[in-house]
Amino acid sequence: MDTQSLPAELRTALDRFSGYLERERAVSAHTCRAYLGDLAALFAFAAGEGAAGLQDLELGTLRRWLGAQSQSGASRATLARRAATVRAFTAWAVREEYLESDPALRLRAPKRERSLPGVLQAGQLQRLFQDLEESAAGGDPVAVRNRAMVELLYATGVRVGELAGLDADDLDFDRRTLRVIGKGNKERTVPFGVPAAVAVDDWLRRGRPQLVKDGSGPALFLGVRGGRVDQRQVRSVVHGLFEAMGDTSASGPHALRHSTATHLLDGGADLRAVQEILGHSSLATTQIYTHVSVDRLRKSYQQAHPRA
């Protein structure tokens, strides 16, 4: 969005908030763009109503902006995100004394729809990994890489960006753990199992040497041109695998992450342990990403109910 047409004070506030996000919040480039895009849209709306500066941002302005977004077809999740962006901005503006009071304190948006990605069942996972192993057996470096990436995604529950950002020395094969940098540049250590260790070792011995180039650097997973694998490539690989299965609603890498969390809980893992593995700052977030399966409910019922 073109911000040059905004009043000077609003443009300046946008630039300063951008600096705050990058320096102090250390948010990703994608998140920063989303924040600034939301705020630029709000400022353009407010300017259209005659606002010349931050002091002209009132609760009514914020509510009318969200209302206009809703009428234009924005989902509840989008409205909730935009309201959160505004609250983060106005709280910052008050701390920096650009605003005397926070107009967003009473701003409310519809609750997010809690839609969960599909969860792979044990039989589906067995087929998936068997197909990947058979494909990798031929020695094609991309097939060997794909097997290692999917095994590691399911073994650890890491995000796609975290997987793509891994370097070879981030893995400790003796302890079977990996060091990952998550959201907010927070580092955590995540365990992985024997199948993932075997697949990654196979990639490092047979696959990576075929794709590595002088400029590959320490990246664990490489694309066909020798550079660090791109997140879009990982998503495309996983999406293609799920589509080929034909019997799952899972559609991308996040379904593997969700499956990891669900299967850990079904196996008796503590919720806080799953929170640590997934890298969630809030336990409430872990609860959103996980659910209790029907099988687990049935087992609990049979064990506990006197007339089961």
Domain harbouring 34, CATH code: 1.10.150
- Residue 213 designated active-site: no
Q: Are residues 153 and 292 in the same domain?
A: yes
Task: Say whether pLDDT at 223 is over 90.
Answer: yes
Choice among 35, 98, 154, 289 that is catalytic: 289
How far is C-alpha 3 from the geometric centre of its chain's CA atoms?
Answer: 28
Q: Give the separation between CA 156 and CA 91, rounded to whole angstroms.
A: 35
Kindly report the CATH number assigned to the domain that includes residue 200: 1.10.443.10
Is 113 part of a structural domain of the chain?
no
Tell me which residue range forms the domain holding 70. 8-95
Q: Give the separation between CA 120 and CA 126, rounded to whole angstroms.
A: 10
Q: Position of tokens 């320096």?
A: 23
Is 156 part of a structural domain of the chain?
yes
Task: Say whether pLDDT at 159 is over 80.
Answer: yes
Q: Which residues contact 253 (CB under 8 A, 6 or more apart)?
A: 153, 159, 160, 163, 234, 235, 238
User: Over the stretch 175-210, which tens digit does the pLDDT of each residue have?
Assistant: 999 999 888 788 999 999 999 999 999 999 999 999
**pLDDT tier, 268 (very low <50, low <70, confident <90, very high otherwise):** confident
Choice among 145, 147, 208, 254 that is catalytic: 254
Number of domains in the chain: 2
**pLDDT tier, 112 (very low <50, low <70, confident <90, very high otherwise):** low
Choice among 82, 208, 257, 263 that is catalytic: 257
- Domain boundary (51, 80, 95) is at 95
Q: Are residues 282 and 187 in the same domain?
A: yes
- Residue 257 designated active-site: yes
Q: Give the separation between CA 16 and CA 95, rounded to whole angstroms.
A: 13
Residue 171 is predicted with a pLDDT of 96
- Residue 289 designated active-site: yes
Task: Say whether pLDDT at 71 is over 60.
Answer: yes
- Residue 263 designated active-site: no
- Residue 254 designated active-site: yes
pTM of the model: 0.63
User: Over the stretch 42-62, which tens digit does the pLDDT of each residue have?
Assistant: 999 999 999 999 999 999 999
Residue 170 is predicted with a pLDDT of 96
| Nearest Cα to Cα of residue 157 among 292, 282, 290 | 290
Choice among 11, 179, 183, 291 that is catalytic: 183
